[in-house]
Homo-oligomer: A and B are copies of this chain.
């Protein structure tokens, strides 16, 4: 889940929203995992230098500190992730978001056959970044690869190259269905998100449609009336069933979300896949 828009108390979206992400941690409806109780993380931009990250191995629904932080931190851009561990240990360093300089990165999904491809993938990481690994998830490696391929210059292209490398490596190892999920990153100014799976369907991804339309569609909803024109939410699973509020990002797509309501969507495909 990601927010880009007017500064809001994080709790507005985390706890005061119907079927928000903390509620989804207990009862996801669309994810492959109905329970996401293996830790969580939140990264935000605001006061201080670069993004802040708070990560915990506790389930999001029971973490007293999260409620306090969410009620006392205001941010114009933040990412929240709840985790269902698939194979790797429950530890803070395996919780998303991952951070590098001013960048944050989250992944909802998995890299199939990661155990066998791990060495090859880590070898492809910029050696200067190799010493920074703190945990043992596939996502930390994906992020390091994306940084290696220029995430800080062109996030979508870097993710295309990263996914391409993973697909090539998977073919070499005989791994099928190597990539599954949605990826999202930010530099504090914009958000980039990708929805992709080697073999579909990919994990779901939605963006709120432009705020004006939402306000017109729901004149009687006070919360939606407070939306600014440039506010945008990107989520794995819609908060509510309100018609017209959510736009589903198609599979094999990348979106760029920016200030002023900017929303660009384009086709995403892995780059440089070697058969």
Q: Which of A96-134 contact B (CB under 8 A)?
A: 114-116, 118-119, 122-123, 127, 130-134
Whether B35 pairs with A35 at a CB distance below 8 angstroms is yes
Chain B min CB distance to A89 (Å): 5
Task: Provide the bound-state CA to CA distance between A49 and B62, in Å.
Answer: 21
A180 at the interface (CB under 8 A from B): no
Task: Provide the bound-state CA to CA distance between A48 and B73, in Å.
Answer: 7
Q: Which residues of B contact A72 (CB under 8 A)?
A: 44, 46-48, 52
Chain A 180-191, CB-CB to B under 8 Å as 1, else 0, gives 000000000000
Whether A38 pairs with B59 at a CB distance below 8 angstroms is yes
Partner among B49, B53, B131, B136 whose Cβ is within 8 Å of the Cβ of A135? B136
Chain B min CB distance to A133 (Å): 6
Whether A64 pairs with B48 at a CB distance below 8 angstroms is no
Residue of B nearest to A125 (CB): B119
Partner among B53, B68, B136 whose Cβ is within 8 Å of the Cβ of A133? B136
A227 at the interface (CB under 8 A from B): no
Known: A74-B47, A131-B118. A59 touches B56 (CB 8 A): no
Known: A59-B59, A131-B118. A73 touches B47 (CB 8 A): yes
Report copies per complex: 4
Whether B127 pairs with A119 at a CB distance below 8 angstroms is yes
Chain B min CB distance to A55 (Å): 7
Q: Which residues of B contact A68 (CB under 8 A)?
A: 52-54
Task: Provide the bound-state CA to CA distance between A74 and B72, in Å.
Answer: 11
A88 at the interface (CB under 8 A from B): yes
Chain B min CB distance to A7 (Å): 9
Known: A48-B74, A68-B53, A119-B131. A62 touches B88 (CB 8 A): no
What are 8 A-B residue pairs whose CB atoms fall within 8 Å in the complex? A26-B35, A35-B37, A47-B74, A57-B58, A91-B92, A118-B131, A118-B133, A119-B127
Give 12 A-B pairs besides A88-B134, A91-B92 with Cβ atoms closer than 8 angstroms. Answer: A27-B34, A48-B73, A48-B74, A53-B68, A54-B69, A55-B64, A89-B135, A91-B91, A115-B132, A119-B131, A122-B122, A134-B136
